[in-house]
Amino acid sequence: MNQEESCTYRCTYCGQLNEVFVDLTAGTNQVFVEDCFVCCRPNVLKVKVDAESDSVTIEAEFEG
């Protein structure tokens, strides 16, 4: 199993695609905040990791 996966999410403020690295060893359900690299606004990322297939799903939401 890889320890890190590169994934993309769409900024909830400006719509820009952003790349983020997800630590696959940090659990199957993760929540963290990443700033958009274009508009610098914070996005709450809800990450689900399927341990069997190493697939990652990201849902971005407004912070606040």
| 10-residue averages of pLDDT along the chain (64 residues) | 85 97 91 96 95 87 84
**Residue 26 main-chain phi, psi, to 5 deg:** -90, 10
The predicted pLDDT at position 1 comes to: 53
The predicted pLDDT at position 3 comes to: 84
Closest CA to 34 of 43, 24, 22: 43
CA angle 27, 7, 56 (to 5 degrees): 40
